[in-house]
Chains A and B, each alone.
Chain A
């Protein structure tokens, strides 16, 4: 991904950098427990948590860096962590 001298050849290419491989812990969102308060969506520094068409929140593991802020902010503990096996 990193080009020589970190040259950017085209705009909007940071989407190609799948930062999800950085994770040590993977957050798991339990939609049964979720009360749709949107806290995780607001606090996620990567914008990796989005609402889908059914109103459920989904974590985009391609970009989630596993910072676990969502887990910390979730008021009903619907988000748990598991260690990434790599």
Chain B
């Protein structure tokens, strides 16, 4: 079973990102779960969301305390939240930052998702780009399924743009780490 935790700020779409990732895994023929952390959901506050992916039926219903992957949508969260809390030793972090020399004590993949989102969407909302980046570094879900999940979640032009953002992030990660 693969467990993923998303860290974001309220309004950045962390919960939607968790759902898109779960949907993408579903389209890949896997079992999946997505759910948010129930806390103070207000715009800008640190929030969490979770995704579980497995080849067999998932019977667990609890929160994820020891994730395999952590996806951080905003690097300034490092100052207020311990994002690697409970992360497994061989786990990895995918983080949205322009810096290249972050040392979190774990394998870290960096991507300038804000730049991609501003380029493609015109707004600094990075959730779809982060899911694309995650697909790029881990290969746990295919980019086709991610795009399908995004088009299914957002209707019309918004879906197309977000799918594009995910694809750009995916390709960038392949180029950087592939």
Does A65 interact with chain B (Cβ within 8 Å)? yes
Question: Contact check: which of B39, B80, B97 meets A86 at CB < 8 Å?
Answer: B97
Interface pair A21/B114, CB less than 8 Å apart: no
Does B120 interact with chain A (Cβ within 8 Å)? no
Known: A6-B39, A22-B9, A86-B75. A1 touches B80 (CB 8 A): yes
The A-B contact count (CB < 8 A) is: 29
Q: Of residues 5 to 30 in B, which have CB atoms within 8 Å of A's CB atoms?
A: 9
- Determine the main DSSP class of B at the interface with A: loop
Does A24 interact with chain B (Cβ within 8 Å)? yes
Interface pair A2/B39, CB less than 8 Å apart: yes
Known: A21-B80, A24-B124. A86 touches B98 (CB 8 A): yes
Stretch in contact with the other chain, from B40-48, B144-152, B170-178: B40-48
Total chain A interface residues with beta-carbon distance under 8 A: 12
Does A53 interact with chain B (Cβ within 8 Å)? no
Does A52 interact with chain B (Cβ within 8 Å)? no
A66 → chain B closest CB, angstroms: 9
Q: What are the interface flags for B106-142 relative to A under an 8 Å C-beta threshold, 1 for contact and 0 otherwise?
A: 0000000011001000001000000000000000000
| Chain B residues, Cβ within 8 Å of A86 | 74-76, 97-99
Does B79 interact with chain A (Cβ within 8 Å)? yes
| Chain A residues, Cβ within 8 Å of B98 | 85-86
| Chain A residues, Cβ within 8 Å of B9 | 22
B58 → chain A closest CB, angstroms: 28
In chain A, what residue has the closest Cβ to B96?
A: A86
Q: Of residues 71 to 97 in B, which have CB atoms within 8 Å of A's CB atoms?
A: 74-76, 79-80, 97
| Chain A residues, Cβ within 8 Å of B115 | 83
Interface pair A2/B97, CB less than 8 Å apart: no
B residues neighboring A (CB under 8 Å): 9, 39-40, 44-46, 74-76, 79-80, 97-99, 114-115, 118, 124
12 contacts between A and B (CB under 8 A): A2-B39, A2-B45, A19-B44, A21-B80, A22-B44, A22-B76, A65-B44, A83-B114, A83-B115, A85-B99, A86-B74, A86-B97
